[in-house]
Structure 1
Amino acid sequence: MPDELPFTLDQLLIVRAIAQQGSFRRAADSLFVSQPAVSLQVQNLERQLGVVLFDRSGRKVELTDAGKVLLQYSERILKLCHETLEALADLQAMERGHLVLGASQTVGTYVMPSLIAQYHRRYPQISVQLLVQSTRRIAQKLVDGQLDVAIVGGEIPFDLQRHLKVMALAEDEYVLVGAPGCAVDSPALADLLTLPFITLDPQSSTRQTIDRVLNRHGINPAQLNVRLELSSIEAIKNAVQAGLGVAFLSTVAVGADVEQGRFQKLAVEGLQIRRTLWLAFNPERYQSQAATRFLQGLLTRQDWLKIPPPHLQLLG
């Protein structure tokens, strides 16, 4: 194989920009170069590779099959270039860096702020960014190399899990809560079918976890009297507090509210809903010093993580 490659990094950047923008002109604008320069680079690249990369016959420029293959590998090459720069920066400044974390909804809202605060007290020079999305989306971003570390409450899909390192981190419990003075104090399992429920949408990992446990206890979730389906935990908490119904909510989300009397815990006889929180990262991606220290803190319980977030039981 010859040492000299038939393409440059600049050409790969141009191919990616055209694929993203759908035209040579918009790609040129995004790269702050002239359109003739972009066209010339593509012509040279196609000549050197001996393939046609773009279909220019329509109103929008489309990748050919050869172009799609080149783009796929270009993304991997360019990602490695960025990781190389991160690695070199780490060598030059061990106490500086940027950490990009991911989390599912409940974890991102109620667990991550405490962990980030403890981490920041130990490493104040490192900036932290947190992305909160569904478990599947967070796992996909880990696979794509867009996140350093993530903590999620849902089961990571197998097609994504096989690309990641996934470890059990903590255990969370879901409890049934209502507004203070709720008429039902200790409902039996059968009573759940008579209560007005407020829930997340059926696609959420939290809702699916709860539904699976109810099914195992002989309660068909489809027969629950669901009065409201909302898109966030905070919205559910506000609706419960307003007396619109009851809800199964995580102890990290409502533990303090129950202790301070803002919610009433309704102990359901014979029912316990627990789920595992999972720590995940991409072992094939370069881990910066910032990410390594966050991982080590979680896995070894270093000084910045001696005390877990309230109402959360760390495993191990």
Structure 2
Amino acid sequence: MLEDIRLFATVVEHTSLNRAAERLNMTQPALSRRIARLEQELGIDLFRRIGKRLELTAAGQLTYEFSIELRRFHGEYLQRLNSFKSEEAAVTTIGASLTTLQTTLPGLITAMTEKHPNLEIKAVTGKSHEIATLVKERKVDFGIVASSVEDDPSITSVPLFDDSLMLVLPRTHYILERTQLVMNDLNGLPMILFAPGTWYRTMTDELFRQYNLKPDVRMEIDSFEAIVRLLSACRAGTLLPKSYLRPQLLEDNELYVVRIKELESIKRTTSLIHGNPAWLPASTRYLIEETLAFFSPGGREPNLS
């Protein structure tokens, strides 16, 4: 039954039998049979089936909450079990794309090391496809990349959150005198952009082509921190991932975020990728579970509220 509850939780979190089956490397009919068996054992319906859509019943919600607690207890068990195997400090190597290294990893590492003071985290950076290769070759324990890896059956890709671009300007910028900005306001706007070669810059360039925009690109820099520090001095704007923008960062640099509908509709999914769970040590499996919990709706939000 416990394994069926884990499968049930995956269906809830992916909001679809088909997507959950793909995540679990199962066929959709096989997964449906497991859920039906669980409902039969419990003697109650967990879902209301409305056409092709599934909705949780009150019993289903209770069961899902139990599954979250079960996952947490299982992670704690694995962590304690691993402490008997070695008295050395646990070491985990995370592979991260360059954008992820600057936007997502700092908050995650801070949270993990605060919770586990003896944990040593190492990071290896590279492009998303390079991180995928490192995961396959078991040179990193798991990766966090601004994409998903769906065409390789040896890699499991779990979505963490969706990211979008946001226009960032100095608070004193003249353009903010307008009541509402639209995409065409980026045309000719002095801007500092990230250096070419990452998903972030590729998405930015595609955006400019889509809307036939030609901003006045003053600088191209491969550091978000440097871009942020230079905006006021250069009286320029930029497009930054929402996941990077924290209220304190904006306050310290006297910056303002402009919400433009078209920008927020263009999203990129950041995912956690790992290899065969059977190859992973217990401590790594535990950290993967904690990472998923960190980015879950009930965990810390990676994006600017």
Which TM bucket (shorter chain)? 0.5 to 0.7
Hey, what's the Cα distance between the residues in 1 that align with 2:205 and 2:137?
Answer: 30
**Structure with the greater alpha carbon radius of gyration:** 1
**Matching residue of 1:265:** 257
User: Which amino acid in structure 2 is aligned with residue 197 of structure 1?
Assistant: M
Q: How does 1:91-106 map to 2 (within 5 A)?
A: 92-93=85-86, 96-106=89-99
User: Which amino acid in structure 2 is aligned with residue 211 of structure 1?
Assistant: D
- Where does the alignment leave 5 or more consecutive residues of structure 2 unmatched? 1-81
**Matching residue of 1:122:** 115
Does 2:190 align with 1:196?
Answer: yes
TM-score for the superposition, normalised by structure 2:
0.62
State the Cα deviation string for residues 41-87 of structure 1 (Å, max 9, x = none): xxxxxxxxxxxxxxxxxxxxxxxxxxxxxxxxxxxxxxxxxxxxxxx
**Matching residue of 1:308:** 300
Hey, what's the Cα distance between the residues in 2 that align with 1:162 and 1:224?
Answer: 41
- Where does the alignment leave 5 or more consecutive residues of structure 1 unmatched? 1-88
**Matching residue of 1:245:** 236
Cα gap change, 1:271 to 1:310, in 2 (>3 Å): closer
Hey, what's the Cα distance between the residues in 2 that align with 1:291 and 1:96?
Answer: 13
Cα gap change, 1:267 to 1:115, in 2 (>3 Å): closer
Q: How does 1:14-163 map to 2 (within 5 A)?
A: 92-93=85-86, 96-154=89-147, 156=149, 158=151, 161-163=152-154
User: Which amino acid in structure 1 is aligned with residue 260 of structure 2?
Assistant: V
State the Cα deviation string for residues 112-165 of structure 1 (Å, max 9, x = none): 22222222233333321112332222222112211101111145585xx44311
Q: Secondary structure at the match of 2:187?
A: helix
State the Cα deviation string for residues 251-295 of structure 1 (Å, max 9, x = none): 332332335562122333543243211110122772112211111
User: Which amino acid in structure 2 is aligned with residue 93 of structure 1?
Assistant: S
Cα gap change, 1:132 to 1:309, in 2 (>3 Å): farther
1:254 to 227, 242, 245: 245
Cα gap change, 1:240 to 1:154, in 2 (>3 Å): farther
Aligned residues: 220
Cα gap change, 1:254 to 1:134, in 2 (>3 Å): same
How big is the shift at 1:244? 4.5
Runs of 4+ with deviation above 6 angstroms: none
Q: Is the 8 A contact 2:165 2:263 kept in 1?
A: no
Hey, what's the Cα distance between the residues in 1 that align with 2:217 and 2:198?
Answer: 15
